[in-house]
Amino acid sequence: MRGQSWYVASLIGLMCLIRFSLSAVGYAEPLWLMEQLSIPIDTNIQMPYIVRVWAIRDIVLAVIVAFANRSTVKTLLLACIAIDLTDILSAHLSGAAGLFNASVTWSLKLTAIAALVPEITALALISVQKRYQQIDVEKQQIF
């Protein structure tokens, strides 16, 4: 996120903060996080392991994005968006299969959506900035 404008850096920082803090809690206390998200442990005793795997993935991703330079942050944001979209789809399919009730399904979806919104906004702003920079370069070449 280095080299970004303050508003893009703020959105990326928000996404990293959401990912990192939620994941750190999930790694340190998977049973507590499962309880907060209304995820039943009785039906799947392996779920704390899965929560920790998810947590490590998101911690690493947040750190990589936070320290990314300007040339790689767009690609990393695309990867984050793809991950969050698959997380939302996975939660939806799990709910549709009857593995989770409606409130659990929505709590799982909303955790991914919380990171997805600033990611998409930051990516859109980066894309718009790049177009304006190209237009400015073209104008300078003409004059």
Q: Is residue 49 part of a domain?
A: yes
- Our CA angle for 110, 113, 115, nearest 5°, is 120
Q: Mean per-residue pLDDT for 90-104? A: 90
Q: Measured between alpha carbons, how far is 120 from 11 in angstroms, rounded to an integer?
A: 9
What is the C-alpha separation between 4 and 15, in angstroms, rounded? 15
Tokens 């300078």 -> residue = 140
Q: Could you read off the pLDDT of 34-91 as tens digits, one per residue?
A: 888 777 788 778 889 989 999 999 999 999 999 998 889 999 999 999 999 999 999 9
Other CB atoms within 10 A of residue 39 CB = 21
Could you tell me the two tokens for 44? 């799947």
The better pLDDT of the pair 1, 113 is held by: 113
Give the domain range for residue 77.
6-142
Q: Give me the phi and psi of 123, to 5 degrees please.
A: -65, -40
* Residue 40 confidence (pLDDT): 76
> Is residue 25, in this structure, part of any structural domain at all?
yes
1 assigned to some structural domain:
no
In a domain, 62, yes or no: yes
Number of domains the chain contains: 1
pTM, whole model, 2 decimals? 0.78
Residue 87 in domain: yes
User: Is residue 46 included in any domain, yes or no?
Assistant: yes
Per-residue pLDDT at 104: 83
